[in-house]
Amino acid sequence: MALSEMSRLDARREQAKQHWQERLSADLYITIGVGTCGYAAGAAQSLDAIRAELEKRNLQATIKEVGCVGMCSYEPMVELQAKGRPRLNYGMATASVIPEIFAAYFEDAPLVTGVIVGQVQDTATCLAAGTLHSLTFVDPERGEVIPFQHKQHRVVLSNCGLIDPECLDDYLALDGYTALSVVLSDMTPEAVIDEITASGLRGRGGAGFPAGVKWRYARATQNWPKYVICNADEGDPGAFMDRSALEGDPHSLIEGVIIAGYAIGAQHGYLSCRAEYPLAIRRLGIALAQARELGLLGANILGTDFDFDITIKEGAGAFVCGEETALMASIEGERGQPRPRAPYPAVAGLWNQPSNVNNVKSYAYVPRIIRLGADCFKSLGTSSSPGIAVFALTGMVNRPGLIEVPMGITLREIVYDLGGGVPDGRKFKAVQTGGPLGGCLPEEYLDTPVDFDSLRAADAVMGSGGMVVIDETTCIVQFAKYFAQFVCDESCGKCPPCRIGSTRMRELLERITIGQGKLEDLDEIRRLATGMRQASLCALGQLAPDPVLSTLRHFEDEYRAHIVEHRCPAGQCRELLSYTIDPDKCVGCTMCARSCPVNAVAGERRQVHVIDQAVCIKCGTCYTVCKFDAVVVR
């Protein structure tokens, strides 16, 4: 019976592959990126505009709605492929630009607002054990891969932007669920765990714990039922790679979770996804229903005696629920407060049963590792951090977005080669890595290789892969205060070191930003940090001081400028700014005096004006209204 169920799946897959080829040779084939970022940039309106333009030109087209490709700075992105013409991807394709894009594509008209992202190649990378399809964008004139894609190896993101995430056949056409078939027909659970261990996969949620080791513990625990839990509670501000993978390729994750269930001997899985990702939740629901219909979930999967099903749980808004014990508490319907470990989830987790918790990307790598082999995965990356990882590059860079690169690439390559450097001619100040519990690295560290261990050695952390770039206009003390505030807001409140420590730390930083800091405050911050690190119950409290401490370590001069000189070098701390009038530029137009809400400006018509510093409230109105650039802000 098993053979016939698997044959049925194989036959369906063959049919899907045929349809895939047929679609690509349509007269006109159009794709549009509709992840949350696409919608945020106006993709829904672009789709309407495409339909209107097709009607106007009396054209028929096959339109496919795909997930986001990770090149967020170009959203909305639209791809056009007509018979006999190249396959081109256009960016900045908002509704009003669609007619211009069609004219450019069909009539060689010039592009004004839209941009060509590149000529698209559906790259089928033939690796020793199988094929991996992904999208490559090539500069149509130079024939080279575009800079943003240099050094990228799209594995977890390979299907994103290529397939319609609501179409199971698309996933099947690109060898989807082949890994599950192989696992259920040819591999024992122990063999699966051996393969995952051999690949060296370290958890992609941030802690970097070897996945195979975790699975082995869960398998070894003789207590049923067991649970597989996917942590899709991507709460790190600045991180959205899970969101992209969930929206763009939900079946990869589902396949990985089912394989994990088989490996550890579980009967049920939970996908705990944060409520702030409603599109991801919707697509996961659709994908689960499709998988059930095809016999990939439920009783006797693919005709074997393996039963497994999955439930989606929506998070209710708490960053701390990204911590695994808090996550499990929220699935249980409790307040999301962490518990001490041991016992670890592999021994006693959800409802005190053996459970395995891994991140979205970790599970999404599993079918690829099974299909392409552990050695292939390991061959990318470094020996201690094998494989590739996905990073979210945001903040002050020219090309923000998601990149999937081998571990060991340097920060400089990420920020400058892929990210295009800092815009508006400003100076790079720091890159904040690892989310709100990570660290800030200044220019001297740009040649640090990005892997778990090298970043730890530099007192930063890889975390879930967020990288936020800041430039000279960001005050580092304000930046540190932002992270302290975040911890205050998100602390579950259970343990005093985190609850009280974060509050006191924020207060100290606040005082420094308003010119009331003392040099002793810096030592006090370090003392609080030690207490929080040593005594907090969970990683939130333990790591909370890290972003603050790293700014203090690398930018102590800037803290001292605030405290000793009452000066904010970045010009961001309002109370430390002074507004003065340059006598060489002032023409005495009286505009500032008339606009000042507190009458702090004195001066006669056609005479140089002066601002009374004692009265000035630093609202900036004079700066805004002066047409002669005579107001100096320092």
Partner 1 sequence: MNEVNSDVVDLSTMESIYETYSDQPGALIPILQKAQDVYGFLPPEVLQWIADPLDIALGKVCGVVTFYSQFYLEGRGKHVLKLCDGTACHVKGAQTLVSAVEEEYHIRPGETTEDGELTLEVVYCLGSCALAPVAVLDGEIMGRVQQDGLLAAVKKRLASAPGPVGQGEPHGIE
Rule CB under 8 A: which residues touch partner 1? Answer: 36-37, 39-41, 44, 72-73, 75, 234-240, 243, 275-279, 282, 311, 313-319, 330-337, 351, 392-396, 400-402, 432, 435-436, 466, 468, 470, 474, 479, 482, 486, 489-490, 492
Minimum CB distance to partner 1, residue 198 (Å): 33
132/350 with CB nearer partner 1: 350
- What's the closest the beta carbon of residue 150 comes to partner 1, in angstroms? 18
Residue 437 or 552: which CB sits closer to partner 1? 437
Shortest approach of partner 1 to residue 266 CB, angstroms? 14
* 547 Cβ contact partners less than 8 Å away, ≥ 6 residues apart: 432, 436, 437, 438, 439, 440, 479, 480, 483
Min dist. Cβ of residue 474 to partner 1 (A): 6
CA 575 to each of CA 286, 479, 522: distance values in angstroms, whole numbers, following the listed order:
53, 16, 20
**DSSP E strands, 413-510:** 428-433, 439-442, 466-471
Q: Please list the alpha-helical segments (H only) found in 71-122.
A: 98-107
The nearer residue to partner 1, 54 or 286, going by C-beta atoms, is 286
Which residue's CB is nearer to partner 1, number 116 or number 470? 470
Judged by CB, which is closer to partner 1: 520, or 575?
575
Closest CA to 77 of 37, 104, 128: 37
Spacing of C-alpha 546 from chain mean position: 20
Token code pair at residue 181: 């078939």
Phi, psi of 494 (to 5 degrees): -70, -40
Q: What minimum distance in Å lies between the beta carbon of 128 and partner 1? A: 35
Which residue number, 450 or 570, has a Cβ lying nearer to partner 1? 570
**CA–CA separation, 6 and 182 (whole Å):** 10
Instruction: Determine how β-strand 115-127 pairs with β-strand 78-82.
Output: unpaired
Min dist CB 465 to partner 1, Å, is 12
State both tokens at 373. 């082999």
Residue with tokens 């004079």: 622
Measure the CA–CA gap between 387 and 375, rounded to whole angstroms.
Answer: 10
Q: State whether residue 532 is helix, strand or coil.
A: helix
* CB-based burial label for 33 (10 Å; 0-12, 13-18, 19+): buried
| Order of strands, sheet of 28-33, starting from the edge strand that comes earlier in the sequence | 62-66, 28-33, 78-82, 88-91, 115-127, 130-138
DSSP 427: P
Which of 178, 394 has the CB closer to partner 1?
394
User: For residue 200, which of 359, 381, 356 has the smallest C-alpha distance?
Assistant: 381
Shortest CB 192 distance to partner 1, Å: 27
What are the tokens at 69?
């490709």
DSSP H helices, 491-590, are 496-513, 519-535, 539-543, 545-554, 556-564
Residue 471 beta carbon to partner 1: minimum distance, rounded to whole angstroms: 9
The nearer residue to partner 1, 109 or 275, going by C-beta atoms, is: 275
The least CB distance from residue 399 to partner 1, in Å, is 9
Closer of 40 and 519 to partner 1 (Cβ): 40
Q: How far is the CB of 621 from partner 1 (least distance, A)?
A: 13
Instruction: Give whichever of 103 and 348 is closer to partner 1, judged by the CB atom.
Output: 348
